[in-house]
Chain A
Amino acid sequence: MSLENFLVVAAIIFAIGLYGAITKQNAIAVLMSLELMFNAVNISAVAMSRYIVPVSIAQNPQTGADQAVQFLLTGQVFTVFIITVAAAEVALGLAIVLSIFRQRASIFVSDAAELKN
């Protein structure tokens, strides 16, 4: 169990989500694939925060212990914000999908193409 293991798993899940987000026609399936990609990014952010030496320590080894560990958990805080934005995004996305579904009785992304060309 090392940094590389977590990054490899995150890369695989991100690639799977990328494949789903581009190839799916159903808008809800596209949103589900987007959630997979968010999760992969979260894994790699937390793994980086866990295993990599923070800049505050790496560039200045003589800093006091309190200042050195102050930003140790920044990756986890970033992940909290990513989860917040993902929750807002999926709520709005599903609301848009449902209102498109009401207007034209279809949730295929290829049916909502007025802006094409």
Chain B
Amino acid sequence: MLGQGTEASLLADIVFWVIAVSSIIAALAVVLLKDLFRAALFLIVSFLGVAGMFVLLRAEFLAVVQVLVYVGAISVLIIFAILMTRDVEEGSPANKFRLPMAIFSALFAAVAIYVAVSTNWNTLELAIASGAIAEETTAKITEVYSNTIPWIGRLLLRDFVLAFEVASVVLLAALIGALALIRER
């Protein structure tokens, strides 16, 4: 019903699992590799996997933003920082919390997965199938997901305009702060 072509098809499932497994493996490589530069390259793979997941979730605008901001800007910044500090520190050793933290993270993941699977989510598909949502609204939802960008723009500049403006001030403050921190005295 919602966005046919990306859902309810075997191909989309296969694409989802390939993206999910590869981004999880890349995330593991980020925290387990000794060489920091290689870890940063795997971080880029993980960012690209998340962008692919945004496409599968019908959030094409966010996929583009993810590629531009994370893959384009943040990873370049991280790689620059690694290269500028590389001659002194080789690698990134783990500290003494390694084993307890591994256990704690595994427990956290287990609890989060249990909650996600066992909760009875009130999903759109179920609501539409049971007739809880009017026909007109269903048609409108399909229309929204056929082209999301105007709706995001409307939300950003009308309902969340204060947060939008504050975000610009935050970016400006971060820019000035970074320049002031890094300046030669």
Taking residues whose C-beta sits less than 8 angstroms from the other chain, chain B's interface range is 35 or more
Contact with A along B86-117 (1 / 0, CB 8 A): 00110111110110011011101100110011
The answer to whether residues A76 and B152 also contact, given A26-B92, A28-B82, A96-B181 and a CB cut-off of 8 A, is yes
Tell me the smallest distance from the CB of A90 to a CB of chain B, in Å. Answer: 5
Chain A, Cβ-Cβ closest to B108: A15
Contact with A along B113-131 (1 / 0, CB 8 A): 1001100011111010000
Residues of B within 8 A of A105 (CB): 88
- Do residues A8 and B116 form an inter-chain contact, with CB atoms below 8 A? yes
Main secondary structure of the interface of B (DSSP, over half): helix
- Cα distance, A1 to B7, chains bound together (Å): 7
Tell me the smallest distance from the CB of A13 to a CB of chain B, in Å. Answer: 5
The answer to whether residues A68 and B85 also contact, given A13-B46, A91-B178 and a CB cut-off of 8 A, is no
Chain B, Cβ-Cβ closest to A39: B50
- Do residues B101 and A19 form an inter-chain contact, with CB atoms below 8 A? yes
- Cα distance, A57 to B135, chains bound together (Å): 12
Residues of A within 8 A of B70 (CB): 35, 39, 83
Taking residues whose C-beta sits less than 8 angstroms from the other chain, chain A's interface range is 35 or more
Which residues in window 43-102 of B have CB below 8 A to A? Answer: 43, 46-47, 50, 53-54, 56-59, 61-62, 65-66, 69-70, 73-74, 77-78, 80-82, 84-85, 88-89, 91-95, 97-98, 101-102
The answer to whether residues A66 and B65 also contact, given A6-B53, A98-B85 and a CB cut-off of 8 A, is no
- Do residues A26 and B36 form an inter-chain contact, with CB atoms below 8 A? yes
Residues of A within 8 A of B116 (CB): 3-4, 7-8, 11
Contact with B along A1-29 (1 / 0, CB 8 A): 11111111101111111111011111011
Residues of B within 8 A of A20 (CB): 30-31
The answer to whether residues A17 and B27 also contact, given A6-B57, A43-B53 and a CB cut-off of 8 A, is yes
The answer to whether residues A25 and B61 also contact, given A5-B16, A11-B116, A84-B170 and a CB cut-off of 8 A, is no
Q: In the A-B complex, list the 7 residue pairs whose CB atoms are closest, starting with the nearest.
A: A20-B31, A88-B174, A26-B92, A11-B112, A7-B116, A15-B109, A95-B178
**What would 13 A/B residue contacts be, using CB atoms closer than 8 Å?**
A9-B23, A14-B112, A19-B31, A23-B97, A32-B40, A39-B50, A65-B134, A71-B155, A86-B74, A87-B171, A94-B80, A94-B178, A101-B85
